[in-house]
Structure 1
Amino acid sequence: MKSAIVERELGNIDEERRLLGEGLKRFPSFFKLWLMLGQLEERLGRLEKAKEVYDTGLKHCPNCISLWLSLGNLEEKMNGLGKARAVLTMARKKNHQNPDLWLAAVRAELRHGNKKEADILMAKALQECPNSGILWAASIGMVPGPQRKTKSMDALKKCDHDAHVIAAVAKLFWHDRKVVKARTWLNRAVILAPDIGDFWALCYKFELQHGIKETQKDVLKICVATEPKHGEKWQAISKAVENSHQPKEAILKKLIVALGKEETAAENNKTLICIFFFF
């Protein structure tokens, strides 16, 4: 795996593919090799080949959630929501009580404007995974503004020490311009899960908006010292080929830019919906 990563970073595609193929012959149940080979084919635009890799990988590693998610995303890209639904449904049948699979299904429906179906799926997800912080955090963002306080209280009753829920509540205080409370809850999130870079990005973004230079420097310094390695958005940036060996400070700042673009896109979507209903 490490040898293939080196070749990927050097841009030696043929050697990377050869090493992955050799590795899979020796270790067919090592899911990371299947993921890397599928991602290689996706980077090259060989989507059918990537699908074949993920399918084969799942025969050897049927309980690998990352492979199921990769195949679901690829099917949505290639063949639309229907195929992605089928993949994610099969994944949930083979891997019960997995919040990541439920969340992926909910997000797929939301991406295609199916709010009602997403709400139904979320309700089922919380029944099957009642103590999942990532599901409760996502559910807070899905309900209308006036209902978010109630939903937050429900989430805290189920998992009051989960960093995802704490961060979701912090964002509500942030949105309501309750600066002191927002900062307190964001700090709780990074204390509970210092290895998740997404929370450090939220903290830093918050301080850029509402803090002073000293607090901004403090967050940046502690984040770099902590060396976070996980987080959905953090890993998407830190593991990108072009960001290989980038320092933590650079990854953090790139993530801040990405979060800003997400917010702009979300606001544009809200505006379009308002215009639609107005006419």
Structure 2
Amino acid sequence: MAAGGGGGEVVAWWWLQIDGIDGLIDSFGSFKKSVWLKAIQFEKAHGTGDTLYELLCVAVQIPKAEFFWLMLVNEKLIASDVSAAREILQVAHFRLPDSEEIWHAAFKLEYENNELERARAFLAKARSVNEGGGRPERMWMKSAVVERKLGDFGEERRLLDEGLGLFPWIFKLWLMLGQLEERLDNLTQAKDAYKSCVKHCPNSIPLWLSLAKVEARISSNILVVRDVLKMARKRNPKDPQLWLAGVRAEKSEPFAVHLMEKALKDCKGSKNRGILLAYSIEMSSTSEEWTTLVSSNMKCEEEDEDPHVIAAIGNKLFSDDGNTQVDEARIWLNRAVSVAPDVGDFWAFLYKFELKHGSKDEQKEVLRKCIAAQPKHGDRWQPISKAVENSHQPVEVILNQLVLALEKQEDKAAAQDNNKGHYHC
């Protein structure tokens, strides 16, 4: 190991070489955080679990040792010793009663171990003491999540209303309130929540999208949805997500195609423009059409490496006119998960492909890699992974649910295709 850094870090590293942990503790107990981190990194790389634990137990004695308490807890969780982690957090609470991060760690431990009443109690205390800096709004959001899991929707609503009274600029609280009303099929109340939010948070794209979706559920009038999305684009110009929502909302193929052409021009140079190009590929009817589209739009390196475009090409090769190009499709879909392993949608596309065209070993390998990647994002992935009934489900279950949903969507599109022709976006 090279002794990188300067000053105290170098001294701390050499002292560990010469005199071990005891020497570091005796001679450098008051060193700054970076020195302790260097010593801890050394122990993680070259020591044992016991020596690392011993060093962390001393590190937490220095002033404002919040970070080291959390590391100590994490080491016990890695060792699957939940009881010890809980005991450490109790001591940490005593030493740092106002630490938001310690409160959050205690909640997370109980929630992830399905101890919901314990989690609820911790959050109630945290809300009462967490009035200062940091991100205290998290405590109201997490509290609402626990009540949702427990099925107490009245308390969930009360907490969200209380949180919004304190933090009306936090769009996620508005979003959670709207989603609660949607789950209860109170669509008018959901719309009111989203409309209130866009007044407080006009630059929140998720809120505009949610408002457009709930308007579409309430009314079959496309003009209402168009007006919402036009206003959203006026407040947030050149945003690909808002343009894409507009294209998806259109029922008429000519209108959708025309709007997509405008979107690609308006968002030229915008971050995340690839989602528009990817959907254009999905909309295209023939291989000639989408290959021309790709070659005329992918002008820069960023778009050439956009995972949404890569995945869309892989899917087209998978299903284009029924003539699957297996080897090419596999290359493109694998490339998508390599570029963006945190997006669950891409893993579902690849897994669905391998279930149809791959061997058992290839299927198992995709599943293994997906579990290792622990994806958290994706337009299709998140609605499933964040559903109340899936809050503690492993990645494998979410992946299989999404593949099933994709297959149902594909069957529905095929039925529409038989009735209406090629266009079925």
With the shorter chain as reference, the TM-score category is over 0.9
Matched, 1:222 2:380: no
Q: Could you say which structure has the higher helix fraction?
A: 1
How far apart, CA to CA, are the structure 2 residues paired with 1:156 and 1:217? 33
Asked if structure 2 preserves the Cα contact closer than 8 Å seen for 1:156 and 1:165, the reply is no
Q: Which amino acid aligns with 2:414?
A: E
CA distances 1:252-276 after superposition (whole Å, capped 9, x unpaired): 000000000010011000111259x
Equivalent residue letter for 2:180? L
- Counterpart for residue 265 of structure 1: 412
The ranges of structure 1 where at least 4 consecutive aligned residues each deviate by more than 4 angstroms after the TM superposition are: none
Q: Distance in 2 between matches of 1:274 and 1:192?
A: 34
Provide the C-alpha distance between the structure 2 equivalents of 1:119 and 1:201, rounded to a whole number of angstroms: 27
Identify the residue that residue 238 of structure 2 maps to in structure 1: 97
| 2:256 alignment counterpart | 118
Alignment partners' CA distance in 1, 2:410 and 2:341: 24
| SS of equivalent to 1:56 | helix
Moved more, 60-69 or 236-245: 236-245
Q: Which residue of the partner structure matches residue 399 of structure 2?
A: 252
- Say if 2:311 is the partner of 1:173: no
Aligned partner (choices 48, 59, 66) of residue 206 of structure 2:
66
Structure 1 counterpart of 2:150: 10
Letter in 1 for 2:294: S
Q: Which residue of 2 aligns with 1:237?
A: 384
2:332 counterpart residue number: 185
Separation of aligned partners in 1, 2:155 and 2:297: 48
- Displacement, 1:57? 0.9
Equivalents in 2 of 1:209, 1:56: separation in Å? 46
Q: Separation in 2 of the partners of 1:199 and 1:46?
A: 33
1:133 aligns with 2:271: no
Counterpart Cα distance in 1 of 2:421 and 2:279: 23
Q: Deviations over 1:145-186 (max 9, x none)?
A: 131221122343341000000011111221232111111111
Secondary structure of the structure 2 residue equivalent to 1:48 = helix
Query: Structure 1 stretches of 5 or more lacking a match?
Result: none
Deviation at 1:88, TM superposition (A): 0.4
Q: Aligned equivalents of 2:236 and 2:274: distance in 1?
A: 18
- CA distance in structure 2 between the partners assigned to 1:57 and 1:202 by the alignment: 34
Judge conservation of contact 2:282–2:316 (CA < 8 Å) in 1: no
TM-score (norm 1): 0.95
Identity fraction in percent: 54
Shift of 1:196: 0.3
Between the aligned partners of 1:263 and 1:157, the Cα distance in structure 2 is 31
Q: How far has the Cα of 1:251 moved from its partner? A: 0.2
Say which of 196, 213, 226 aligns to 1:56: 196
Shifted more, 229-238 versus 139-148: the winner is 139-148
Alignment partners' CA distance in 1, 2:338 and 2:296: 22
Cα 1:183–1:84 shift into 2, 3 Å: same
- Counterparts of 1:117 and 1:217, CA distance in 2: 43
2-side partners of 1:161 and 1:15: how far apart?
Answer: 46
Residue 32 (structure 1) aligns with: 172
Distance in 2 separating the partners of 1:151 and 1:274: 21
Distance 1:139 1:274 in 2: 17
1:33 deviation in Å? 0.5
**Which 10-residue stretch deviates more, 61-70 or 139-148?**
139-148
Counterparts in 2 of 1:137-148, with a 5 A limit? Answer: 137-145=278-286, 146-148=288-290
Secondary structure in structure 1 of the residue aligned to 2:299: helix
CA offsets 1:182-216 (integer angstroms, 9 cap, x no match): 11111110011110000000111111111111111
Distance (whole Å) between structure 1 residues aligned to residue 408 and residue 203 of structure 2:
34
How many residues are treated as equivalent by the alignment?
Answer: 272
Distance 1:101 1:252 in 2: 27
Secondary structure of 2:298's aligned partner: helix
Q: Give CA deviations for 1:23-58 in whole Å, capped at 9, x if unaligned.
A: 111111111100000011111111111111111111
Could you tell me whether the CA contact under 8 Å between 2:212 and 2:228 is conserved in 1? yes
Output the CA distance in 1 between the equivalents of 2:383 and 2:177.
17
Are the aligned partners of 2:311 and 2:346 in contact in 1 as well (CA < 8 Å)?
Answer: yes
d(CA) in 1 for partners of 2:281 and 2:325? Answer: 18
Q: Distance in 2 between matches of 1:60 and 1:272?
A: 44
Which structure has more relative contact order (CA 8 Å, sep 6+)? It is 1
